[in-house]
Amino acid sequence: MNRYLFFLLPIICGSFFSIAIARAETPSIAVLYPEVRDPYRAVFLEIIRGMEKELGQSVTPYVLENEASRLTTIIEKMKTDHIDVVVSLGRAGLEAAKALSETFPVVIGAVMIAPGQEIQGLTGISLAPDPDALFEHLQHIVPHIKEITVVFDPKQTAWEIDYAKKAAKARGFSLNAMPAHDVQHSSTLYRQVLVEIKNNSIALWLPREGLAIAEQVLLPVVLKEAWEKNFVVFSSNLDHVRKGALFSLYPDNVGMGRSLAVLALQQLQAGAAKTAGIKPLRDLLLAVNLRTAEHLGLQFSSQTRREFGLVFPNSQ
């Protein structure tokens, strides 16, 4: 019996030793998010669920109240809890990240911020959708489209057009990007575009901020012309799909959580050579207006329909 124990002892001890190392190497990840009510709180909880799915372990949540002194207390608590890396969510989380980054590797997320910029060496994922994801769905849903026209505000969406130009070129689209500097100029350009679109190989893209300042006036005109001329209008604004645009994309909160978890691990592993910069959102779900699709003569397989996150009208 002792002889068997003699042979088993190294194996048993080795197993316990491996488990101890694995536990020691498992990073402790914190998630900081502002104290808000539902439905915003539910978004943060879905992101956390996505992170835990990706990591295969729990993360430690910290709720940020408004008082600056509360952040100091949270940072001290994170130190006591031996946190290795922090994912900081929301606009308040972005502000807190600047203080957190003095002590921890930090990743920011769930905040509307222009991708491509550097904020105090921070890295993260914006809520702003990657235009390439829009173009990918356009290519899949309406493969005959060859040209995309967009009227944009260079003060608000210049970054989006920079990304869009690269994405359009890579996917074989011709992109006609028209800067509008005020409401009057925007109105003039849209009316010009509506006159010039004469075939359904041209699609009109409405960026998130493109019609915001004159939406009550311009959007109904654009959608009415698109219906009458049978051309595609797609949008970066989900509400436009409800009103008649063919499709849009909106955040996949669980998927975003998975991506933030991967980014957090990368930041931890990078050490001093942390990757800075804000990335556009790629974790997106598809919303489609089926009435508009039917009017355009588009047909979707059962498999394709199952990929729709939302449908209008009367989302099921």
Q: Return the CATH number at 229.
A: 3.40.50.2300
Same-domain check for residues 227 and 136:
yes
* Lowest-confidence pick of 88-102, 115-129, 143-157, 237-251: 115-129
104-125 average pLDDT score: 89
Q: Say how many domains are in the chain.
A: 2
| Cβ neighbours of 315 (radius 10 Å) | 13
Same-domain check for residues 90 and 51:
yes
Q: Is the model more confident about 17 or about 66?
A: 66
Three-state SS at 78: helix
| pLDDT reported for residue 120 | 79
Strand (E) or helix (H) holding 258: helix 253-270
Q: Does residue 100 belong to any structural domain of this protein?
A: yes
Same-domain check for residues 238 and 167:
yes
Average pLDDT, the chain: 87
Q: Does residue 120 belong to any structural domain of this protein?
A: no
Same-domain check for residues 231 and 289:
yes
Same-domain check for residues 172 and 293:
yes
| pLDDT reported for residue 315 | 52
Q: Does residue 118 belong to any structural domain of this protein?
A: no
Q: Does residue 262 belong to any structural domain of this protein?
A: yes
Do strands 123-129 and 147-152 pair parallel, antiparallel, or not at all (unpaired)? unpaired
| pLDDT reported for residue 84 | 97
Q: Is residue 4's pLDDT more than 60?
A: no
Would you place residue 184 in the very low, low, confident or very high pLDDT band (cuts 50, 70, 90)? confident
Instruction: Find the angle CA(171)-CA(219)-CA(110) to the nearest 5 degrees.
Output: 60
Q: Is residue 6's pLDDT more than 50?
A: no
159-185 average pLDDT score: 94
Same-domain check for residues 235 and 292:
yes
Would you place residue 155 in the very low, low, confident or very high pLDDT band (cuts 50, 70, 90)? confident
* Lowest-confidence pick of 160-174, 216-230, 246-260: 216-230
Contact 149, 124 (CB under 8 A): no
Nearest CA among 195, 153, 198, 203 for reference residue 174: 203
9-20 average pLDDT score: 41
Same-domain check for residues 290 and 278:
no
| pLDDT reported for residue 183 | 84
| pLDDT reported for residue 263 | 95
Same-domain check for residues 222 and 274:
no
Same-domain check for residues 181 and 274:
no
CA distance 246 to 233: 6
Same-domain check for residues 200 and 233:
yes
Q: Count Cβ neighbours within 10 Å for each residue of 264-303 and write b for 16 or more, e otherwise.
A: bbebbeeeeebeeebbbbbbbbbbbbbebbeebeeeeeee
Residue that has been written with the tokens 């006036």 in this structure: 217
Domain coverage including residue 217: 131-250+285-312
Q: Does residue 124 belong to any structural domain of this protein?
A: no
Same-domain check for residues 167 and 295:
yes
| pLDDT reported for residue 271 | 64
Q: Does residue 122 belong to any structural domain of this protein?
A: no
| pLDDT reported for residue 210 | 57
Q: Does residue 242 belong to any structural domain of this protein?
A: yes
Would you place residue 215 in the very low, low, confident or very high pLDDT band (cuts 50, 70, 90)? confident
Same-domain check for residues 74 and 220:
no
Instruction: Find the angle CA(70)-CA(71)-CA(76) to the nearest 5 degrees.
Output: 100
172-193 average pLDDT score: 92
Q: Is residue 17's pLDDT more than 70?
A: no
| Cβ neighbours of 25 (radius 10 Å) | 7
Would you place residue 22 in the very low, low, confident or very high pLDDT band (cuts 50, 70, 90)? very low
Q: Count Cβ neighbours within 10 Å for each residue of 190-226 and write b for 16 or more, e otherwise.
A: beebbeebeebebbbbbbbebbeebbeebbeebbebb
Residues 6+ positions from 160 with CB-CB distance below 8 Å: 128, 131, 152, 207, 208, 236
Helices and strands counted in the chain (H then E): 12, 13
Q: Is residue 44's pLDDT more than 80?
A: yes
Residue 119 carries which side chain, given as an amino acid letter? I
pLDDT tens per residue across span 267-284: 988 765 566 789 999 999
Q: Does residue 119 belong to any structural domain of this protein?
A: no
pTM above 0.85, yes or no: yes
67-95 average pLDDT score: 91
| pLDDT reported for residue 269 | 86
68-86 average pLDDT score: 92
Q: Is the model more confident about 39 or about 20?
A: 39
Q: Is residue 144's pLDDT more than 60?
A: yes
Contact 46, 257 (CB under 8 A): yes
| pLDDT reported for residue 158 | 87
Three-state SS at 27: coil
